Amino acid sequence: MRVLLTGAAGFIGSHIHRAARAAGHEVVAVDLMLAAAHGTAAVPPAGIARVDVRDPNGLDDLLRGIDVVCHQAAVVGAGVSAQDAPAYASHNDLGTAVLLAAMERAHCRHLVLASSMVVYGEGKYVDSSGAQVDPAPRQRHDLDNGRFDHRGPDGRPLCWAPIDEDAPLRPRSLYAASKVAQEHYALAWAAATGGTVTALRYHNVYGPDMPRDTPYSGVAAIFRSALEAGDAPRVFEDGTQARDFIHVRDIAAANVAALEHPLGAFTPLNIASGNPITIGEVATVLAKACGGKQPVVTGDYRSGDVRHIVASPERARRTLGFMAITTPALGLAEFATAPLRPAAAAGAPTW
């Protein structure tokens, strides 16, 4: 197939680029090379064109003869400042809308969209009897006193449960709001055109070539940088926050599977390892693998952080035949000494 890959020079996009070509696909690779992701003097790597997906004229030329679009281009992160909102809306949401309109003009009817676990907001919780509970926001006075778990009506801590794709979308950050909007635009586009969209909701992605620590990078890279500096990784809360960490090679494999197997009009899929791990365990595995200092559990917290979010990967297994092959324990041990990208510019781009 002939694939248009946006965001091809990014951390995830570069792995998808290699995997799709290795699978025998012809890849038309593009990236805007934003300074926030690549640095101020970055130039596109060989074989990647500098293209802004918000430019309809440029897209019309690129989409001729394209069978499927793999849309990875986005401003990423948790939305560190409210001033980042225009950048998310412009690059993520307007960019997706312009791309979808261009796909319709080109009669390209298959999209693989990079989405995220952040669309769920809080994860899924059950009380001491096993009944599902929609938790109230955690209160500052509880957090200040080291009470980090959500609590049920009986006052007991709630337990996490794997979340599936039918859970309501409840974004809690600017980035999350932009990913929900991307999904909604894609859903409406599929209904209007008869196209197919597979929205891959990535969980915590890590692996070689991950960006170094910035306010927009993942916690695994932040722990890595602390260890390289000879410092102990600093773990927030009590370290028992549950997450699903998935290796970037598995993310690339999921994208190739989605390119090759169009599903229904709009199909969201959790892309996760299926092997939950706590943030404290992540720091411990990394420290042990590189012989660094043991983590320090600080009890500090960040307002708005999600306590637990763990996915069920069952639908991706059933529909795409996709299963992650790298467990977090093995993958994180490898990641402890893997090459990382240098830190780029701080902050989101201007819109």
The 10s digit of each residue's pLDDT in 286-302 is 999 999 999 999 999 98
Specify the pairing of strand 159-161 against strand 277-278: unpaired
* Average pLDDT for the chain: 93
Tell whether pTM > 0.85: yes
CA-closest candidate to residue 251, choices 322, 183, 309, 177: 322
CATH placement of domain 2-123+163-336: 3.40.50.720
Q: What is the pLDDT of residues 141-183, one digit of tens each?
A: 999 999 999 999 888 999 999 999 999 999 988 999 999 999 9
Domain ranges of the chain: 2-123+163-336
How far is Cα 235 from Cα 282, in angstroms, rounded to an integer?
10
Q: What is the DSSP letter of 135?
A: P
Confidence of residue 82 (pLDDT cuts 50, 70, 90): confident
Contact 5, 16 (CB under 8 A): yes
Tokens matching residue 45: 């790597």
Nearest to 203, CA basis, from 158, 261, 242, 167: 242
Sequential DSSP letters for 43-66: -PPTTEEE--TT-HHHHHHHTTT-
Question: Which pLDDT score, from 0 to 100, does residue 342 have?
Answer: 81
- Position 79 pLDDT exceeds 60: no
